[in-house]
Amino acid sequence: DPKIIQKPKYLVAVTGSEKILICEQYLGHNAMYWYRQSAKKPLEFMFSYSYQKLMDNQTASSRFQPQSSKKNHLDLQITALKPDDSATYFCASSQRDSQDTQYFGPGTRLLVL
């Protein structure tokens, strides 16, 4: 059974629209993260959460908003989508903090037209 679930697997959106990427982890971890990977940039850290609190934000744009309704959920809302947002978005989790191994979900591949 998958331990980190990301929905949807693929997503096509139009420029200017808004989408929510879903992430749930069943590893019992306390920390969750979002990363972005595109052809232009390698794996890029976006956010980290611990016990539903934002711990670090390396995303310059406020169009990206993480949302945590439960300890094992960390969704990513993206507003006013741009073609440059096209990427694979990975959710990850670790037991406690960034010193622990990160376990990555399967990713959501977003294409903005």
Partner 1 sequence: GDSVTQTEGLVTLTEGLPVMLNCTYQTIYSNPFLFWYVQHLNESPRLLLKSFTDNKRTEHQGFHATLHKSSSSFHLQKSSAQLSDSALYYCALSDGTGGYKVVFGSGTRLLVSP
Quote the least distance from Cβ 58 to partner 1, whole Å: 7
Site membership for partner 1, residue 103 (CB under 8 A): yes
Phi/psi for 3 (5° steps) reads: -95, -25
Do 12 and 109 meet the contact criterion of CB atoms below 8 Å apart? no
Footprint (CB under 8 A) of partner 1, residues 14-33: 31, 33
* Residue 73 within binding range of partner 1, rule CB under 8 A: no
Residue 49: strand pairing partners:
32, 54
Q: Considering beta carbons, is residue 44 or 79 the nearer one to partner 1?
A: 44
